[in-house]
Structure 1
Amino acid sequence: MNPSETSGQQSPDLVLYGGKGGVGKTTCAAAHALARSIKPETTALVISTDPAHSLGDSLECDLSGEPTAVTDSLCALEVDAEAGQEAYRRVIEALAGEFRSAGLRLGDDDLERLFRAGLIPGGDEVAALEYFAQYAEAEYDCVVFDTAPTGHTLRLLDLPAVLSETLGVAGEVQQRVKRTATAARSMVFGPAAYWGAGDETDEVGSLRDRITMVGDLLRDPERTRFRVVLTPERMAIAEAERLVAQLDELSIPVDSLVANRVFENAEDCPCERCQRDAERHARRLREIDERFEHAVVSVPRLAGEAQGLDTLSEFGSSLFAGTQKR
C-alpha cells in the first residue's frame, strides 16, 4: 500500500496484516488505518479478526462488533463471533424449514445440534468472513484487517473454497427436499401448491454468493493486499517464510513484508548488549532481503508501549517511510 494513493474510490482498498503471534500485527494495522485517515477527505476502518482482540487496547478505546468512531475519519471494530454467525444460523433454519415442509420432524433442539455440529466449520473464521463481506464495499477509502496469528488466518483464507463446496451441497439438498415437498403437496392441493413458491429468500444461495465474492476479492491484487509482519528473529523469519509460501498457494497477493521492532541505531547506547542487538538485527535484515522476493519495510523499535493515537501516528510515519527494498 503506497501512502500516496488518493481517495475517492468507488470501493475501499483492503489491506490485511498477518504473521506470527506477538510480532506487532495490531500495531501495524491500527497505525496504517490512522495514517490513511489523516489524509484530506479520506476515511478508514480498521477491523480486528483476532479472537484475542487487542485493537481496542492499542487505540485506547472501547470497541464492539459495530464501527466505533476513533477520530472524525477513523473507525474501528472487533469482530463479534456470535453476531457474525447469524447468517449461518439462517442457513440451518432455512434447511430445517425445508425438511419440515417435506414432513420430517425437526425440533428446536435438533436445529441447535445441527448448528453446533459444524455444518459451517470454524466459528471465529466464518464470523470474520461475514464481516469481510459486509465491509468490502463499505463507504470507506481504506479497510484494514488486523488478522489472527498465522494458523487462524490461513484457515480464514482457505475457508471460502471450503464453504463454497459445503454450501453447494447444502443447496442441492435443499432443492431436492423442496421438490419432494412441493410434489407431495401438489398431490393434495393441485396447482395451488405452487402459489408463492418463488417468494422465499434463498439463504443458502445468498450466503454462497457472498462467500464466493469474498474468495474472489481476497485474490484480487487490484483491491486486496496482504502484508506479512515479522521481527528480525530466526523463528519469526521462518514462520513468515512458510506463511508467504502458503499465501502464494492460495493465490493471495502479498504486497510486502514489515520487519518490525528493528534495533537500528546503537549510538545512543554504546553498551555491549545494544551493540550486539543492532548487529544481529542488521544480519537478520540482510537474511530477510535474501530469502524473500517481496519488498521489505523496516520499522524501528518503539521506545515505549504501542498504545494511543500519538504513538500510533509516530509508528505510522515509520511504517510508510520505512526503507523499501527491491
Structure 2
Amino acid sequence: MTDCIFYGGKGGVGKTTCAAATGIRLADLGRRTLLVSTDPAHSLSDSLETDLGPEPRTLELEGDPVLETDSAGASGLEENAALWAAEIDPETRQERYEALARALAADLRSAGIRLGDEEVERIFAAGTPAGGDEIAALDLLVEYVDSGDWDVVVFDTAPTGHTLRLFDTPAVAGPFLEMLGSLRGQARRIGTAARSAVLGPMSMFGGSDGGADLEAFRDRLERARELLLDAERTEFRVVLAPEGMAIAESERLVEKLREAGVRVDRLVVNRVFEDPDEGCSRCRSRYERHAERVAEIRETFPDLEVVTLPEREGEVQGLEAVRSIAERLPAEA
C-alpha cells in the first residue's frame, strides 16, 4: 500500500523545499519514493537543480541504499533506485477530457441536438470549479498510487486556494459527471431510436462508445476522493513562516481541510531564525520575534505537532543542500 504526504500552504513559504527534503529522507531510508509537484508554477526542478517533466524520472542520490527487487524490477522501473520526481503538466492529460467532450457532442448530434464541439467543450470546462491542474493532479494521484511502483508519494501542492480546490474537486465534480452521464444516455437512446426508425437493424452496427470513458473518469475521481480521505495512508502537512498573516491563513487552511475530512497532524514552521550573534541587537530582536511567533503557533494549534526549520542564507537548492534539512522532518506518514 502506497502512502501519500501532501505539503501545502501560502505561496513562498518553502513547500517545495519541505516536500523535496522529505522525499530525499524517505529515499535515504530505503523507501521507494516519488516526489511530485502539482503546482502550475513549478519550482521543484529548481530546488533539485535538475530537469523534470510529467513522467517520473530517477534521481541519483549518493549512497543510495540497495533495495531488493524481483527479477524483473518493479513495473519496469530502474532497479536499486529509491527516488523519482515529476512535475505534472495538465496538458499531458488534456486529450482525455477532450475525448469525453467530443464523444458527448457526437451523441447529442445523433439525437438531433445542434451543438458544436467547441460549445460542448465550454460546457464541460465550466462544469467544475477546478481547472486542468487539479483534475490532472487527481488523475495522476490514482495512477501513481494504484501502480504499486512506490512506497510513498510526496506532493508539493500549489498555494492555498489551488490546494483547497484540489481537495474539493472529487465531491464537486461527481454530480456534474453524473449529469453528463444521464445526458449522454438520453441522447444516445434518442439517437438510436431515430436511426432505427430510418435505417432499421443495420443502424445498431458501428459508432463509438465513449460512455465507458466517462464512467472510468468518474470512477477515478471517486478513487481519488477515497485516497485523500484515507487517514491510514494520507497526511497533509501545512508549511508556514513565523509571521502573523501566515499563522492566520494556516489556521483557515487547517480548519477547511479538517472540515473536508483530510488528516492534518503536523505544521512545519520554515525559516526560523535560530542562532543570533550575541553582539548583534537586531539579530537578537529577530530571534526573539520568531521565538514568540513559534510559541503563538504552538498555542494556536495545541493538537498538532510543530516542526521548525532554520532560516538559511540564500535559496536551498541541490540535492545535498535539501538533504541537509531532511532529518528535521518526520519521515512517516
- Fold-level match, TM-score > 0.5? yes
Paired residues for 1:148-297 under 5 Å: 148-195=158-205, 202-266=212-276, 268-292=277-301, 293-297=303-307
Residue 103 to residue 56, structure 1, CA distance change in 2 (3 Å): same
Corresponding residue of 2:47:
58
In 2, Cα distance between the equivalents of 1:319 and 1:302? 16
In 2, Cα distance between the equivalents of 1:278 and 1:299? 13
In 2, Cα distance between the equivalents of 1:231 and 1:114? 40
**Preserved contact between residue 12 and residue 140 of structure 1 (Cα < 8 Å):** yes
Q: 1:196, CA displacement in angstroms? A: 6.9
Determine which of 132, 142, 150 is the counterpart of 2:141: 132
Q: Secondary structure at the match of 2:100?
A: helix
In 2, Cα distance between the equivalents of 1:151 and 1:176? 36
Paired residues for 1:27-176 under 5 Å: 27-40=17-30, 42-71=31-60, 72-110=81-119, 113-114=122-123, 118-121=126-129, 122-138=131-147, 139-176=149-186
In 1, Cα distance between the equivalents of 2:330 and 2:314? 20
Unaligned segments of structure 2, at least 5 residues: 61-80
Unaligned segments of structure 1, at least 5 residues: 1-10, 322-326
Q: 1:82, CA displacement in angstroms? A: 1.0
Q: 1:304, CA displacement in angstroms? A: 3.9
TM-score (norm 2): 0.86
C-alpha deviations, 1:192-248, integer Å up to 9, x for none?
A: 444578965511111011011111111110111000001111111111001001111
In 1, Cα distance between the equivalents of 2:150 and 2:246? 32
Q: Secondary structure at the match of 1:320?
A: coil
In 2, Cα distance between the equivalents of 1:76 and 1:126? 19
Residue 237 to residue 109, structure 1, CA distance change in 2 (3 Å): closer
Q: Secondary structure at the match of 1:85?
A: helix
Residue 199 to residue 119, structure 1, CA distance change in 2 (3 Å): closer
TM-score (norm 1): 0.88
Q: Secondary structure at the match of 2:35?
A: strand
**Preserved contact between residue 85 and residue 130 of structure 1 (Cα < 8 Å):** no
Letter in 2 for 1:118: A
Q: 1:28, CA displacement in angstroms? A: 0.4
Letter in 1 for 2:290: H
Q: Secondary structure at the match of 1:298?
A: strand
Equivalent pairs counted in the alignment come to 308
C-alpha deviations, 1:19-42, integer Å up to 9, x for none?
A: 0111100000011111101123x2
**Preserved contact between residue 48 and residue 78 of structure 1 (Cα < 8 Å):** yes
**Preserved contact between residue 300 and residue 318 of structure 1 (Cα < 8 Å):** no
Q: 1:262, CA displacement in angstroms? A: 1.2
In 1, Cα distance between the equivalents of 2:257 and 2:211? 35
